[in-house]
């Protein structure tokens, strides 16, 4: 019985420790999920502090509340 209780206790502990990470809600920006893909399609955007910055994609720029100005790296507009 002692071994069964130990295994059961470990299973419960693993379940409890992994549950909060799986159940954590995604952060939202303007009512939409703030989870962006990892694709690299750079955009130049103006941050909320007024600086130009290159972001890896438009989703990441919007998540940071930046205004997308054009596709591509800042300073290399075609």
pLDDT value of position 41? 98
Q: Is the pTM of this model over 0.85?
A: no
Residues 78 and 67: their CA atoms lie apart, in Å, by: 19
Domains annotated for the chain, with CATH where assigned, are 30-77 (3.30.60)
- Asked if residue 22 lies in contact with residue 28, where contact means CB atoms within 8 angstroms, the answer is no
Digit-coded pLDDT (tens) for 16-64: 455 444 444 445 555 556 799 999 999 999 999 999 999 999 999 999 9
């Amino acid at each position: 019985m002692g071994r069964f209780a130990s295994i059961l206790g470990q299973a419960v502990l693993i379940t409890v420790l992994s549950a909060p990470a799986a159940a954590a809600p995604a952060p939202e920006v303007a009512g939409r999920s703030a989870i962006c893909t990892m694709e690299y399609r750079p955009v130049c955007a103006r941050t909320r502090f007024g600086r130009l910055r290159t972001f890896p994609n438009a989703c990441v720029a919007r998540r940071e509340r930046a205004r997308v100005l054009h596709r591509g790296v800042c300073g290399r507009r075609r």
